[in-house]
């Protein structure tokens, strides 16, 4: 590894570590139940949280570097128990640079009910471009969670999937984008749930969803380099 590659990997470990604080800040996790990973650009490696370490105790040095088969190359601790699912996504989706998993309560309630979140508000049209879909029920231990994520999100605009009876997985071009999708997923899951307490919820018309998605993904935000889905909402 060159000095430049070393420095870039250390920066990525610090970034992935810091993004875990965002899961706490936005109320997406209880105890140690969520995790963030990032692909190491230009390599077959990823950075992921160690298993069972509280978010307050996480430091960049504790982050795990492993290959896309989950073999640990750097780090003293065991990687997150969800490492196989993250790795499967990176192996099968070259466009994905970050993956997030949470059991955030409102979104996971939809997952427990086995029901997609209907695209009923403009913020959903913007970020998800569709309903947030339900993925299959799958147990941890082999590739079935990864297969369920990739199988559900391939060809789908949504960067979030609600794995039935489990929780949320999100993908993004970067780990930060995947964290943003997880935050937005919980936000719209709560809003649409609250709307249903008031009565029937209508999905937006498809043409409006298409317009919202196109504008937000292609026009919205500041001019490059932070434009698009990763740009700050103002
Ligand atoms: Zn889980």
Neighbours of ion ligand 1 (CB under 5 A): 167
Rounded CA separation 210/222 (Å): 21
- HSE, CB side, 13 Å, CA atoms: give it for residue 7: 3
Tell me how long the chain is.
234
Please give the pLDDT value at position 224.
57
**Residuewise pLDDT in 10s, the chain (234 residues):** 899 999 999 999 999 999 999 999 999 999 989 999 999 998 999 999 999 999 999 999 999 999 999 999 999 999 999 999 999 999 999 999 999 999 999 999 999 999 999 999 999 999 999 999 999 999 998 899 999 999 999 999 999 999 999 999 999 999 999 999 999 999 999 999 999 999 999 999 999 999 999 999 887 776 655 544 544 444
3-state secondary structure of 69: coil
Please give the pLDDT value at position 218.
87
Rounded CA separation 183/189 (Å): 10
Rounded CA separation 109/23 (Å): 18
Q: Is 208 a catalytic residue?
A: no
Q: Is 156 a catalytic residue?
A: no
Please give the pLDDT value at position 142.
87
Q: Is 20 a catalytic residue?
A: no
Q: Is 210 a catalytic residue?
A: no
- Does residue 225 have a cis bond before it (omega within 30 degrees)? yes
Which of 67, 156, 214, 220 is labelled catalytic?
A: 220
What separation in Å is there between the alpha carbon of 61 and the centre of ligand 1?
Answer: 24
Rounded CA separation 31/95 (Å): 31
Which of 82, 88, 90, 101 is labelled catalytic?
A: 101
Please give the pLDDT value at position 116.
98
Rounded CA separation 69/56 (Å): 28
Whole-model pTM: value is 0.93
Rounded CA separation 192/202 (Å): 10
Please give the pLDDT value at position 219.
78
Beta strands 64-67 and 98-102: pairing type?
unpaired
**Which stretches of the chain are DSSP H helices?**
3-25, 83-92, 105-113, 122-127, 144-153, 175-198, 206-218
Which of 20, 88, 126, 213 is labelled catalytic?
A: 126
Rounded CA separation 96/173 (Å): 5
Please give the pLDDT value at position 46.
98
Rounded CA separation 112/28 (Å): 16
């Amino acid at each position: 590894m060159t000095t430049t590659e070393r420095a870039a990997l250390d920066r990525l470990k610090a970034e992935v570590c810091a993004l875990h604080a965002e899961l706490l800040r936005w109320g997406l996790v209880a105890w140690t139940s969520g995790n963030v990973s990032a692909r190491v650009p230009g390599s077959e490696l990823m950075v992921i949280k160690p298993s069972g370490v509280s978010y307050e105790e996480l430091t960049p040095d504790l982050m795990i570097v492993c290959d896309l088969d989950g073999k640990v190359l750097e780090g003293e601790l065991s990687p997150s128990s969800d490492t196989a699912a993250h790795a499967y996504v990176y192996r099968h989706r070259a466009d994905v640079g970050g993956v997030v998993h949470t059991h955030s309560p409102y979104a996971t309630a939809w997952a427990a009910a086995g029901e997609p979140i209907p695209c009923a508000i403009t913020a959903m049209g913007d970020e998800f471009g569709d309903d947030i879909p339900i993925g299959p029920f799958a147990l941890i231990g082999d590739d079935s969670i990864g297969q369920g994520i990739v199988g559900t999100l391939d060809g789908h605009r949504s960067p979030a999937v609600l794995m039935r009876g489990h929780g949320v997985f999100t993908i993004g071009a970067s780990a930060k984008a995947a964290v943003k999708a997880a935050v937005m997923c919980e936000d719209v899951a709560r809003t649409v749930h609250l709307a249903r307490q008031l009565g029937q919820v209508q999905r937006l018309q498809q043409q409006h969803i298409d317009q919202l998605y196109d504008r937000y993904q292609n026009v919205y935000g500041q001019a490059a380099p932070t434009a698009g889905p990763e740009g700050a909402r103002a």
